[in-house]
């Protein structure tokens, strides 16, 4: 670590509220949120006038709602002043009028397509002020761009550090960070940074070589693991026969960035002899947004930085906790890309507090169980969704409908297109394969040898009318949730 780096770590440490969580906290992640509310009330007169001078242990759900509403009003003022998109969209909205959660119904939504259409009209700071910029995958030509300032990154480090405390990490523990691919937005960097600032050890290995992963884990005395469940599963399946994984002394495994099925969770827990906890996040909100506690009944959400709502997707109205609907998220503190009432297209529900882990006011998230646009990951994590294929497949006028089945052969994903087509000739087959292979996500996967050349099977017209309408992509891979 260079001298400048040490100074940066020292500064970040001081700004971090995670380091102020008392040792006897029952659920550190919630305590961290309470500290955030109390600190805000100390410096902001408006909030102090509402919740008074409370101690962090006295913060109730009602106080926290007030903290969130205060942050929401502040954020509305901020985005109206600093972003072209919201200056126009929210010109008639008076932030002072938002006093209750029901008042949120009056605030218009932001759609993912709005963000994809004009990402820079959402940026509240100049691009030179960005510490990092991330471009998501998407349909041809339209990619969402999300910016992060240094302040945004520190806020993330803070929540990750608090979450690691909640997972049970302390001074001598070492987190093994296991992501077998280096993405444009490498989660390893944030995780290693969070460990450093929080004072924990970490070891990172991005090699897909399983033996290498094991060696690094052992050499560093890792006590916790975080990574993609499909990869941790591979390690488990291939090493489980050679050594007793329980003897490695791993105390917790955190699964992130991919769906974790219950059967996979059970297999991992049995093999390693520890709990496996699930995480949920979105790039639009800096990834780490919610994490399970040991009770594993829903994911504790980062309510200090994010406001979670669930709406009826047809009426757009808020629904009470416990009811399923579309998840809508507002970034309460984001500086670079502050999104207001962003419709995630995820189907989810919120769970009212308390939780049997000891948390008193934090609302939990029922992990999104399906996306409205049904995304799946193939190759090294590229997201695919029906819209991506619609254009390519329907380019051919003879095609009536289609369904994509994803299977796995060895380590490769196989996409098989079942086509209802008027013309069932080799010409149609070849043109559909060519069109689909040209999609960036598929093309890259084929070049990297992670996806097979797509296949086509013709179906009789009318034979797939029922299933295909409801579900265009069917994931038949064992390790993934459908
Ligand atoms: Zn809990």
Residue 468 has pLDDT above 50, yes or no: no
Rounded-to-integer distance, Cα 313 and Cα 365, Å: 17
Angle CA(15)–CA(20)–CA(26) in degrees, nearest 5?
140
Quote the pTM value.
0.77
Q: List the beta bridge partners of residue 134.
A: 146
Residue 253 has pLDDT above 80, yes or no: yes
What is the model's pLDDT at position 6? 64
What integer is the mean pLDDT of 139-147? Answer: 72
What integer is the mean pLDDT of 345-363? Answer: 93
What is the model's pLDDT at position 141? 53
Reported confidence tier of residue 2, pLDDT bands at 50, 70, 90: low
What integer is the mean pLDDT of 249-269? Answer: 86
What is the chain's mean pLDDT, rounded?
87
In the reported structure, the alpha carbon of residue 356 is separated from the centroid of ligand 1 by a whole-number distance in angstroms of 6
What integer is the mean pLDDT of 145-172? Answer: 92
In the reported structure, the alpha carbon of residue 118 is separated from the centroid of ligand 1 by a whole-number distance in angstroms of 38
What integer is the mean pLDDT of 175-188? Answer: 73
In the reported structure, the alpha carbon of residue 360 is separated from the centroid of ligand 1 by a whole-number distance in angstroms of 9
In the reported structure, the alpha carbon of residue 152 is separated from the centroid of ligand 1 by a whole-number distance in angstroms of 26
| Cβ-based neighbours of 461, under 8 Å, separated by 6 or more | 400, 420, 421, 422
Quick check: 15 and 154 in contact, CB under 8 A?
A: yes
In the reported structure, the alpha carbon of residue 298 is separated from the centroid of ligand 1 by a whole-number distance in angstroms of 8
Alpha helices in 112-149 (DSSP H): 112-117
What is the model's pLDDT at position 290? 96
252's tokens? 């917790």
pLDDT (tens digit, 9 = 90+) per residue, 71-114? 999 999 999 999 999 999 999 999 999 999 999 999 999 999 89
| Cβ-based neighbours of 334, under 8 Å, separated by 6 or more | 75, 152, 285, 286, 305
Which homologous superfamily is 377-475 in? ANL, C-terminal domain (3.30.300.30)
Rounded-to-integer distance, Cα 438 and Cα 87, Å: 38
88's tokens? 């126009």
| Strand ranges in 108-250 using DSSP code E only, listed in sequence order | 132-135, 145-148, 174-178, 201-204, 224-227
Higher local confidence (pLDDT), 383 or 137:
383
In the reported structure, the alpha carbon of residue 71 is separated from the centroid of ligand 1 by a whole-number distance in angstroms of 24
Reported confidence tier of residue 271, pLDDT bands at 50, 70, 90: very high
What integer is the mean pLDDT of 37-60? Answer: 94
Residue 368 has pLDDT above 80, yes or no: no
Nearest Cα neighbor of 342 from 102, 137, 119 is 119
What is the model's pLDDT at position 3? 53
Quick check: 250 and 223 in contact, CB under 8 A?
A: yes
What is the model's pLDDT at position 365? 96
What is the model's pLDDT at position 481? 40
What is the model's pLDDT at position 462? 64
C-alpha separations of 429 from 211, 390, 464, 475 in Å: 42, 15, 18, 22
What is the model's pLDDT at position 262? 74
Q: Which of 116-130, 312-326, 461-475 has the lowest mean pLDDT?
A: 461-475
Higher local confidence (pLDDT), 297 or 18:
297
């Amino acid at each position: 670590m260079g001298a400048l780096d040490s100074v940066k770590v020292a500064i970040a440490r001081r700004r971090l509220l995670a380091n102020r969580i008392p040792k006897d906290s029952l659920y550190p992640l919630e305590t961290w949120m309470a500290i955030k509310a109390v600190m805000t009330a100390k410096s902001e007169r408006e909030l102090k006038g509402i919740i008074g001078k409370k101690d962090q242990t006295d913060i109730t759900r009602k106080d926290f709602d007030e903290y969130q509403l205060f942050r929401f009003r502040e954020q509305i003022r901020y985005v109206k002043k600093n972003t072209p998109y919201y200056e126009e969209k929210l010109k008639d909205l008076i932030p002072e009028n938002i006093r209750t959660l029901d008042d949120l119904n009056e605030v218009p939504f932001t759609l993912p397509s709005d963000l994809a259409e004009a990402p820079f009209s959402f940026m509240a700071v100049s691009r030179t002020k960005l510490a990092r910029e991330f471009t998501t995958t998407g349909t041809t030509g339209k990619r969402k761009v999300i910016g992060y300032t240094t302040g945004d990154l520190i806020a993330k480090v803070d929540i990750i550090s608090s979450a690691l405390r909640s997972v049970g990490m302390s001074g001598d523990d070492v987190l093994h960070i296991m992501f077998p691919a280096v993405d444009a937005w490498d989660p390893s960097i944030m995780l290693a940074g969070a460990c450093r600032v929080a004072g924990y050890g970490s070891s990172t290995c991005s090699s897909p070589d399983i033996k290498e992963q094991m060696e690094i884990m052992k050499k560093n005395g890792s006590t916790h693991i975080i990574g993609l469940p499909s990869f941790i599963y591979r390690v488990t399946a291939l090493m489980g026969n050679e050594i007793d994984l329980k003897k490695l002394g791993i105390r917790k495994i955190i699964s992130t960035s991919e769906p974790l099925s219950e059967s996979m969770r059970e297999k991992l827990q049995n093999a390693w002899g520890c709990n496996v906890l699930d995480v949920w996040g979105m790039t639009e909100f800096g990834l780490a947004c919610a994490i399970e506690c040991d009770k594993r009944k829903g994911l504790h959400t980062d309510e200090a930085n994010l406001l979670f709502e669930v709406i009826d997707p047809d009426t757009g109205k808020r629904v009470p906790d416990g009811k399923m609907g579309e998840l809508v998220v507002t970034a309460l503190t984001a500086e670079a890309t502050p999104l207001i009432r962003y419709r995630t297209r995820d189907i989810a529900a919120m769970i009212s507090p308390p939780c049997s882990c000891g948390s008193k006011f934090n609302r939990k998230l029922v992990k999104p169980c399906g996306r409205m646009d049904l995304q799946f990951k193939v190759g090294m994590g590229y997201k695919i969704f029906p819209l991506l294929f619609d254009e390519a497949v329907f380019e051919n006028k003879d095609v009536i409908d289609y369904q994509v089945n994803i299977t796995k052969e060895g380590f490769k994903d196989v996409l098989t297109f079942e086509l209802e087509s008027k013309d069932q000739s080799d010409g149609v087959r070849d043109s559909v394969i060519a069109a689909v292979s040209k999609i960036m996500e598929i093309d890259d996967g084929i070049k990297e040898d992670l996806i097979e050349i797509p296949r086509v099977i013709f179906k009789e017209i009318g034979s797939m009318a029922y299933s295909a309408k409801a579900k265009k992509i069917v994931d038949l891979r064992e390790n993934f949730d459908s």
